[in-house]
Amino acid sequence: MTHRITALRENLANEGCGAFISLTPATNQYLAGFSGTTSAILITPDEALFLCDFRYTEQAQEQVRGYAITEVKGKLSERLAEAVSERRLSAVGFEPQYMTVDEFRALQANAGSVFTETPELVSSLRRRKDESEIALVRAASELAESVLVDLLPELRPGITERELAARFEYEFKMRGASGPSFDTMALFGARSSLPHGQPGDRALQEGDVVLLDFGCRREGYCSDLTRTYAFGRIPGGWFQEIHELTLAAQRQALEAVRPGVSCQEVDAAARDVISNAGHGSHFGHGLGHGVGIEIHEAPRLNPEATGVLEAGMVITIEPGVYLPGQGGVRIEDLIVVTQDGCEVLTRTQKELEILAP
């Protein structure tokens, strides 16, 4: 991870910062290669320090490269503050989006007001993936899709949303994932209109919409995929209409993806299709998000988004149309922005499919 320390130091110099600290697992995985949940790092222009407690010392010695590893006792935020204070550092950057108020208070109490908010310092690096990261996302995506392919033919009337979601998560682990990258969504019938619904005791019936949104985490990287099916027969003309519409919007957005295009524009490419069909108010969420160490990370694609796409970004394209009380459709692919467009990692069919009961 020494090349990432070098890149971070360049950003530090550009921001006029004297050092960077982090207590955040995702950041510390990216910058130090550590997969544990509790650690601290301090990076100065000429030092890289990694702090952990007894539980993680052996693991850190195996995983962490390019850092001086120190086992500490007591509160990690206080030991980190002491390391900052001993070095008389100033303008010490941290990521405000991850730090708790408690941690911040402990840092200030032990090192004074030397800290400065740098929300973009690491995220500006993380949003562009290198080849090894893309390979990990691809592998996570393939694993999750292999589960979908095997579970779809097993769907029978009577299985509940909760049971199906549990089957996905069991298979993720059995096939080498550390777990789901977020709680698996399996929503049947009218419940598919809940964009982030939680699986419940609803049993599958013929004529149901089946909305599946899932992903796994494998070797620290996430995948994300959504498909919407009809079970046994098409629930109604409305479903066919919004499925076609969502797919058309999704394809329009994929067409728009290339380096230099603004995140807002790509969102608008899909949103315009849906709005022009009179369903603008039924697509109330953003078009997509970055995927990597975290399931939702930079960049964001929505009407208020800033920034442009760059080659190497891994993002989702996931428009949806939701009719309250009736049902919804979301179609989500995971893609890599390439030099001249994009590569779609998701392989599963997205045209309307009627699953045999």
In the complex, least distance from residue 215 CB atom to Mn ion, rounded to whole angstroms: 8
* Integer Cα distance of 37 and 250 in angstroms: 36
Please identify, among the stretches 93-101, 128-136, 175-183, 217-225, the one whose residues bind Mn ion according to the rule CB under 5 A: 217-225
Interaction between residue 228 and Mn ion (CB under 5 A): no
Interaction between residue 208 and Mn ion (CB under 5 A): no
The single residue among 53, 133, 208, 224 that binds Mn ion, judged by CB under 5 A, is 224
Phi, psi of 175 (to 5 degrees): -100, 10
In the complex, least distance from residue 225 CB atom to Mn ion, rounded to whole angstroms: 8
Residues 222 and 213 sit within 8 Å (Cβ to Cβ): no
In the complex, least distance from residue 272 CB atom to Mn ion, rounded to whole angstroms: 21
H-type helices in 194-341, by residue range?
237-256, 263-276
Please identify, among the stretches 84-92, 134-142, 147-155, 308-316, the one whose residues bind Mn ion according to the rule CB under 5 A: 308-316
Give 31 or 291: the residue with its C-beta nearer to Mn ion: 291
Note the Cα 39 to chain centre separation in Å. 21
In the complex, least distance from residue 332 CB atom to Mn ion, rounded to whole angstroms: 5
Any idea which residue has 């955040």 for tokens? 24
Comparing CA positions, the residue from 321, 322, 288 lying closest to residue 303 is 288
Give 45 or 179: the residue with its C-beta nearer to Mn ion: 179
Please identify, among the stretches 37-45, 92-100, 237-245, 314-322, the one whose residues bind Mn ion according to the rule CB under 5 A: 314-322
In the complex, least distance from residue 224 CB atom to Mn ion, rounded to whole angstroms: 4
Phi, psi of 262 (to 5 degrees): -75, 150
Give 107 or 247: the residue with its C-beta nearer to Mn ion: 247
Give 224 or 294: the residue with its C-beta nearer to Mn ion: 224
Note the Cα 181 to chain centre separation in Å. 8
Pairing of strands 115-117, 92-94: parallel
In the complex, least distance from residue 20 CB atom to Mn ion, rounded to whole angstroms: 29
The single residue among 28, 35, 118, 316 that binds Mn ion, judged by CB under 5 A, is 316
Please identify, among the stretches 3-11, 90-98, 99-107, 223-231, the one whose residues bind Mn ion according to the rule CB under 5 A: 223-231
Any idea which residue has 């590569």 for tokens? 343
First to last CA, the chain: 50
Run of H or E residues at 301? strand 297-301
Give 252 or 316: the residue with its C-beta nearer to Mn ion: 316
* Integer Cα distance of 19 and 90 in angstroms: 7
Longest dimension (CA), the chain: 69
Interaction between residue 171 and Mn ion (CB under 5 A): no
Give 202 or 300: the residue with its C-beta nearer to Mn ion: 300
Interface of this chain with Mn ion, residues 254 to 293, rule: CB under 5 A: none
In the complex, least distance from residue 316 CB atom to Mn ion, rounded to whole angstroms: 4
Tokens of 322: 């939701």
Give 114 or 287: the residue with its C-beta nearer to Mn ion: 287
* Integer Cα distance of 68 and 49 in angstroms: 5
Any idea which residue has 């428009």 for tokens? 319
In the complex, least distance from residue 318 CB atom to Mn ion, rounded to whole angstroms: 5
Pairing of strands 92-94, 68-71: unpaired
Interaction between residue 181 and Mn ion (CB under 5 A): no
* Integer Cα distance of 54 and 300 in angstroms: 38
- Total residues contacting Mn ion (rule CB under 5 A)? 2
In the complex, least distance from residue 222 CB atom to Mn ion, rounded to whole angstroms: 9
Give 139 or 331: the residue with its C-beta nearer to Mn ion: 331
Is the Cα torsion angle 16, 20, 25, 30 positive or negative in sign? positive
Give 161 or 294: the residue with its C-beta nearer to Mn ion: 294
Q: Which residues bind Mn ion (CB under 5 A)?
A: 224, 316
